[in-house]
Amino acid sequence: MTRIGIVGTGNISGIYLENAARLGYEVLAVSDLDLERAQAQATQYGVPHALSVDDLLAHPDIEIVLNLTIPAAHGPIALRSLEAGKHVYNEKPLASTLEEAKKMLERAAQKGLRVGCAPDTFLGAGFQSAREQLKGGIIGQPVHASALMASVGPEGWHPDPSFFFQPGAGPLFDMGPYYLTALISLFGSVSSVFATVKSTHTERTVGSGPKAGQSVPVNTPTHVSGVLNFESGLSASLTMSFDMVPGSAPLLEVYGTKGSLTLPDPNTFGGPLETHSVTGEKIELSLNKPFEDNSRGLGLANMAQAIQEGRPHLASGQLAYHVLETMFKLLESGEAGKLMTLESKVVRPEALGEIAARVG
């Protein structure tokens, strides 16, 4: 079983630790700037070692570093892991700048190491079933997709929400990776984007915890609405907002010449998956693929197996880089008021297919 070291033992680390045994990786050590936090997770999940970051990176038995730090540390920790000769799998987004992300992929290629990145929800039952339905022609030729994440922002429930309103975060970088990874995994590369961006409020008020009532400055757009042109000819509209109350429109939907497909919430692994036929009939489709429950870590497990078997992994650094470039180009377009062309391209990841039979 591939041995993993986790750097960053905050909120999201629990599910990766919980899923390790069933998905087939072994967490040998955990680390955090706050070593007590790392020790607490090690105790709760029976991890052999809680180490400093330096000691974890120097551990000879660790093959992959699972980087669950905050976005600003994704690039630096990934680069240090690669320099230490480890493969790395990051939480989203891949890095907080494109330059950092590019350096990460280049260094990995030079050293013959892998970079993987969340989200891996596109490998779940919902999106793998959708992929098969689209391939089978259920909606005919896909013409347009719509992605809509409407929310009033995280400051109501998050006790320390200021980072959500700083550059590198906002709704686009926080939630956009789920929607964009889902669309790009289904439809391939984005070629150009056009967007409008704004912040409806200049500050936000913390709603819970010890900082309740304090104001947080808004330093990044909290409403991003754009159009994406895919190389395949598909167009998509995408709105990621912390400024508005959700209505009844679906989160993610694809419209084709013979029907439409309402996709699951891309922040989940399961369904529902529904189609509307040309006559207006609505049908709930059964999910005929595994991993309907919270299977965070599936992309990491797939990368670990792919390394052993010498084949490409699916939640790849290249895919995450294209997602990151799409997000930066949306922001640049909104700021400059013009269409932006992407430089990177990505090969659509294969279906999870037979891999699923060997994991879990």
Ligand X SMILES: NC(=O)c1ccc[n+]([C@@H]2O[C@H](COP(=O)([O-])OP(=O)(O)OC[C@H]3O[C@@H](n4cnc5c(N)ncnc54)[C@H](O)[C@@H]3O)[C@@H](O)[C@H]2O)c1
What are the DSSP calls for 210-247, one per residue?
A: TTTT-EEE--S-SEEEEEEEETTS-EEEEEEESSS---
Question: CA-CA distance, 81 to 7, in Å (whole number)?
Answer: 10
Residues 142-171, mask of contacts with ligand X (x by CB under 6 A): ------------------------------
Among 22, 34, 249, 258, binds ligand X (CB under 6 A): 34
State the DSSP code for 347: P
Nearer to ligand X, 142 or 264 (CB): 264
Choices 9-17, 283-291, 314-322, 338-346 (CB under 6 A): range interacting with ligand X = 9-17
38-77 positions binding ligand X, by CB under 6 A: 53, 68-71, 73, 77
Number of residues that bind ligand X (CB under 6 A): 19
Query: Is residue 92 a contact residue for ligand X (CB under 6 A)?
Result: yes
Nearer to ligand X, 92 or 204 (CB): 92
CB of 195 to ligand X, least distance (A): 21
CB of 146 to ligand X, least distance (A): 23
- Which of 121, 111, 79 has the alpha carbon at shortest distance from 96? 79
C-beta atoms surrounding 104 within 10 Å: 26
* Cβ–Cβ under 8 Å, residues 121 and 227: no
| 3-state SS, residue 99 | helix
Query: Is residue 35 a contact residue for ligand X (CB under 6 A)?
Result: no
Choices 17-25, 31-39, 151-159, 254-262 (CB under 6 A): range interacting with ligand X = 31-39
CB of 15 to ligand X, least distance (A): 8
Using CB atoms within 10 A of its CB, is residue 192 exposed (0-12), middle (13-18) or buried (19+)? Answer: middle
- Work out the end-to-end distance of the chain between its first and last CA atoms, rounded to an integer number of angstroms: 13
Query: Is residue 8 a contact residue for ligand X (CB under 6 A)?
Result: yes
Among 2, 5, 6, 9, binds ligand X (CB under 6 A): 9
Question: CA-CA distance, 125 to 28, in Å (whole number)?
Answer: 29
Nearer to ligand X, 8 or 142 (CB): 8
C-beta atoms surrounding 320 within 10 Å: 30
Among 6, 7, 64, 287, binds ligand X (CB under 6 A): 7
Tokens 């976005």 found at: 71
Q: What is the binding site for ligand X (CB under 6 A)?
A: 7-12, 32-34, 37, 53, 68-71, 73, 77, 91-92
